[in-house]
Amino acid sequence: MSERTYEDWVIVITTGTDYEADIIRDRLDDAGIPAVVLTQRDHAFNLTIGDLASVRVMVPPDRLEEAQALLESAPFSDEELEAAAMGAVDQSDAHPTEREVMLDSGIEKIRLSGPDEADEADDEADDEADV
């Protein structure tokens, strides 16, 4: 493994796919290790070999050994994954449905009903100002 650095980040692993790098980054992040993905893939030609296919996961130099140890550790067993998944089923929703829709859309305020009287008064005031 090369210990090249980019802007004070060290390569912990190199892969050929973006999704694998994202999974690795998420695993490191879940363990509290900051990680970033540097992709050099040429997506226009979808190359999978050579320098134009490299996707690197990088961590701060002082966290390199910790990241390597985590990635070399045994993954969760099927039983542990099932227990975690079943435990998540019993959890209540983080947000009410209307709030979840707002968060998913990127719009801070969504109104699913018609305008109220205050909105109509604002519209009338705007129309009078335009005259």
Fold of 5-76: Alpha-Beta Plaits (3.30.70)
Q: What are phi and psi of 119, to 5 degrees?
A: -65, -40
Q: What is the pTM of this model?
A: 0.53
pLDDT recorded at residue 1: 41
pLDDT recorded at residue 80: 83
Do 55 and 17 touch, CB atoms closer than 8 A?
A: yes
pLDDT digits (tens, 9 = 90+) for 24-45: 999 899 899 999 998 876 666 6
Task: State the span(s) of the chain assigned CATH 3.30.70.790.
Answer: 5-76
